[in-house]
Structure 1
Amino acid sequence: MQRRTLIRTAMAGLAAGSLPAFAQGGWPTGKAITYLVPFPAGGTTDVLGRIISQQLGTVLGTSVIIDNRGGAGGSVGSEIASRATPDGYTMLGGTISSHAINVSLYPKIGYDPIKSFAPVTLIGTNPVVLVVNQASPYKTLKDVLDASKAKAAAGGLSSASAGTGTSQHLALELLAYKSGVKFTHVPYKGSGPAIQDVIGGQVEMMFDTTVVAGPHIQSGKLRAIAVTSPKRIASLPDVPTVAESGLPGLSDFSVVSWQAIFVPTGTPAPVIDRMHKEIRTILAKPDMQEKLKGFGMEPADMTTAQIAAFQKVEVEKWAAVIKAANIKAE
């Protein structure tokens, strides 16, 4: 018994001695931190990542560098992040797509949205808004559905998205499923290029977050048709919800996107705690709260345990939607 106790003590001492300096309070060491964004520049995750990383770098006294790795609705960049060394120097901007939807949409994504990552913070939630080009003849959701019905033989109206499996795509598929109207999905590698083609008239419509679509709605380049939240949002008070349309099958329509920050599983708890604390402090600043609300986002304040529970519910919810609507990855 005494021998086993000595062995265990020695092994514990070796383990403690082998821990990196940051696990003992020295993180960060000055090494640059990579904030991996699994979408191209210009999208919601990218915009939020750049705002947060600039302030986080100042607080931590080191550089926080954005690395855009778009593709497969956030799956490509997320897989890269999942394989990164869990040393506190890789962060990931996770979304409803990369960390709730894709696991049920794609046969193999190369990571487990729950097991491969540890949550750091939930930045906020926001609905998506259906938009069309300012020159479009469609002014209401009924106009959109009627026009798509009329073009059913050609596949219906074309609708862009930030990629297969994103909240933009799922909103479209849910609308098609509930209304019985067909649309042609046109996936892009991010919101930036997708919404530019809606503005340019190459694609007829798009569901997108208010972070990306909001400025174009305000400038008059896009017309907002409906928001997907249960209630109207403060940033677009004159835009009705999909449910308010009164159209058959849409009374309970709701799609709410979310943005979060994750790190690879195995990242030391002290590092996660420090990240959570500093990012929550940044997000709690009045100017940041106003920015989030200006984007149409509802600020969120959850513990890491609450985020994990929330994510689990989201994974199960979208698995059910994808199965019921028979949505397939393209």
Structure 2
Amino acid sequence: MRRRHLLFAAALPAPALAQRPDQAGRPWSPPTRMVIPYGAGNITDQVARVLIDVLGQRHGWRIAADNQPGAGGMLGANNLIRAPADGSVCGVVAAAALTILPHIQRNPRFDPFPELAPVTGLAISSSFLAVHASLPVRTLAELAAHARARPADNPVFYYSPGNATVPHLNLEALRRALDFPMQHVPYRTSQAGNTDLLANRVQVTMDSFSITLPHIQAGTLRPLAFNGAQRHPLLPEVPTMAEAAPGVQLMNAWMAVFFPRATPAATVDRAAEDLLDAVNSPAFAERLPVGTSPFALGPTELAERVRSEGARIGRLIAEIGLTPD
């Protein structure tokens, strides 16, 4: 196996790990391989590797990280579906592969519910609604009013790192809910869109925290709202989206652990115990990438999150008129 596919956490000796009993005294062997459907260095990969280390330190899991990038996470997720359903293989999958991509592919390879067993939420990232500092607005309500007042041939432009990405769908949901016009400009990368935003060729974004925060702190961008559950401690004066636009449901990028669907329920539940303990630990939270926080959901809560969010996103994609690839 290639070196980049292997990451062994600090662990107990093998005999102590084998057949370790669960709380009911049943034999229990944790997974030995974790499929990560993204390349090394991707934010989901970073979170997965933090998890592997913390599981090794707290519970003695010895687990290999298996990066399988491609098709926005669908390639690795599809391989996870076909992996042995004996508890030896789990995977960390990002929300987009579960709630967005199935709606925009002409022939989606899988539906997450029949094919994957939800185990545990891991981490979630939030974003700022931000505008170029020259735009004469300081609140979301002012942005909506300003956009309505602009002539049709000189609209407010917003960028995203591509069609059907989380920033694109969030800004479409927001402008539709508040009924104001903005023109979408999709880019191939966040870096390209952010370059044009800083040059004032586009004016608005809800790109990832790590992309926008440095420019907010530098005063080049102005934050209008934060799409998190609470105000962000670095910018406590910025309202949450719930405060700025009550009742408007947006999405966040999150990632979670799944098993192949046929994995025994007792194995899923037992794995969730150790995983939730790790996710709730200070060691996990302290090592997460900037802009992310723990997302501790159990199997039932995670299944409902995928189900409800996927349905809402599907309706939005249909309203926008995005066609399958």
TM over 0.5: yes
User: Cα–Cα, structure 1 residues 63 and 75, in superposed 2: closer, same or farther, change >3 Å?
Assistant: closer
Task: Measure the CA separation in 2 of the matches of 1:130 and 1:281.
Answer: 33
Match of 2:77 in 1: 78
Distance 1:77 1:157, change over 3 A: farther
Aligned to 2:7: none
1:285-324 equivalence runs, <5 A: 285-289=281-285, 295=291, 297=293, 299-323=294-318
- Unaligned stretches of 5+ residues in structure 1: 1-20
**Structure 1 contact 225–240 (Cα < 8 Å) conserved:** yes
Contact 1:165/1:329 (8 A) holds in 2: no
Separation (CA, whole Å) in 2 of partners of 1:134 and 1:51: 36
Change (3 A) 1:202 1:85: farther
Q: Secondary structure at the match of 2:118?
A: strand
Partner of 1:255: 250
**Counterparts of 1:244 and 1:270, CA distance in 2:** 41
CA distance in 2, matches of 1:106, 1:238: 40
Q: CA deviation at 1:170?
A: 1.3
CA gap of 1:122–1:186, structure 2 versus 1, over 3 A, is: same
Which letter does structure 1 place at the counterpart of 2:239?
Answer: P
**Structure 2 CA distance for partners of 1:61 and 1:159, relative to 1, 3 Å:** same
Match of 1:7 in 2: none
Q: Does 1:276 align with 2:272?
A: yes
Deviates more, 1:226-235 or 1:135-144: 135-144
Partner of 2:112: helix, strand, or coil? coil
The offset of 1:111, in angstroms, is 0.9
Unaligned runs of 5+ in 2: 1-18, 21-25
Aligned position for 2:13: none
With 307-316 and 83-92 compared, the bigger mean Cα shift is at: 83-92
CA contact (8 A) 2:82 2:260 kept: yes
Overall identity of the aligned pairs, in %: 24
Structure 2: distance between partners of 1:316 and 1:289: 30
Q: For the Cα contact (< 8 Å) 1:128–1:256, is it kept in 2?
A: no
Alignment check: 8 A CA contact 1:120 1:276 kept? yes
SS in 1 for 2:127: strand
Give the corresponding residue for 2:224: 225
Q: Secondary structure at the match of 2:98?
A: helix
Return the offset for 1:99. 1.8
Cα distance between partner residues in 2 of 1:168 and 1:327: 17
Give the C-alpha shift of residue 159 in structure 1: 1.0
Deviation at 1:263, TM superposition (A): 2.6
Alpha-carbon distance change, 65 to 106 in structure 1, aligned in 2, over 3 angstroms:
closer
Find the counterpart in structure 2 of residue 184 from structure 1.
184
Q: Secondary structure of 1:254's match?
A: coil
Residues 61-109 of structure 1 show CA distances to partners (whole Å, capped at 9, x for unaligned) of: 23324444353xx4454344434444533413231x2222333344432
1:118 is displaced (CA, Å) by: 0.8
- Residue 118 of structure 2 is matched in structure 1 by 119
Q: Return the letter of the residue paired with 1:295.
A: G
Residues 136/65 of structure 1: CA separation in 2 closer, same or farther (3 Å cut): farther
Normalised by the length of structure 2, the TM-score is 0.70
| Cα distance change of structure 1 residues 111 and 212 upon mapping to structure 2, 3 Å threshold | farther
State the match for 2:61 in structure 1: 60
The amino acid that maps onto 1:288 is: F
TM-score relative to the length of structure 1: 0.69
Give the equivalent residue in structure 1 for 2:129. 130
Spell out the pairing of 1:147-186 with structure 2 (5 A cutoff): 150=150, 152-153=152-153, 156-161=156-161, 163-178=162-177, 179-186=179-186
Alpha-carbon distance in 2 for matches of 1:288, 1:136: 39
Question: How far did residue 199 of structure 1 move?
Answer: 5.6
SS in 2 for 1:153: coil
How far residue 207 of structure 1 moved from its aligned partner, in angstroms, is 1.2
Q: Read off the aligned partner of 1:69 and give its amino acid letter.
A: G
The residue number in structure 1 matching 2:92 is 92
Q: Is the 8 A contact 1:99 1:114 kept in 2?
A: no
In the TM superposition, residue 142 of structure 1 has moved relative to its aligned partner by 5.3
CA separation in 2, counterparts of 1:121 and 1:294?
A: 21
Q: Determine the C-alpha separation between the residues in 2 that align with 1:279 and 1:193.
A: 37
Q: Secondary structure at the match of 1:312?
A: helix
Cα distance in 1 for partners of 2:268, 2:130 equals: 38
Q: Secondary structure at the match of 2:207?
A: strand
Q: Distance in 2 between matches of 1:216 and 1:278?
A: 38
The root-mean-square deviation of aligned C-alpha atoms, in Å, is: 4.0
